[in-house]
Amino acid sequence: GKSKDLLTMNQIEEEWKEYEQVTEEVIERSGIDRERFYDLRGNHDNFGVPEVGGELDYFSKYSINGRLGRKGHVHSVTLQ
């Protein structure tokens, strides 16, 4: 989110915790193996993140891919 003065942006860890909770609930309810889920890091997931894997990199900490240790780049996706 943006600061009150609208000059800086950072990520809100509570929102990432909620994201983790929701994705875990979807996995549990769907019965689909978590390995089949793939959440992609987007531009907004990099705001205020000085270092991938660092303390402020909530994507690595709370996303499915981050928790599974996936770090590669995606060049295409095929749905079957």
pLDDT range class, residue 79, cuts 50, 70, 90: confident
Q: Chain-wide mean pLDDT for the chain? A: 87
79 within some domain: no
When divided into structural domains, the chain yields a total of 1
73 within some domain: no
Question: Where in the sequence is the domain holding 59, given as residue range(s)?
Answer: 13-68
7 within some domain: no
Question: Residue 34 corresponds to which tokens in the numbers above?
Answer: 């978590």
Q: Are 30 and 41 in contact (CB under 8 A)?
A: no
Which tens digits make up the pLDDT trace of 41-70? 888 888 888 898 899 999 999 999 999 998
Cα 20 to Cα 2: distance, rounded to the nearest angstrom? 21
Q: What is the DSSP letter of 38?
A: -
8 within some domain: no
Cα 35 to Cα 51: distance, rounded to the nearest angstrom? 25
Residue 72 has a pLDDT of: 76
40 within some domain: yes
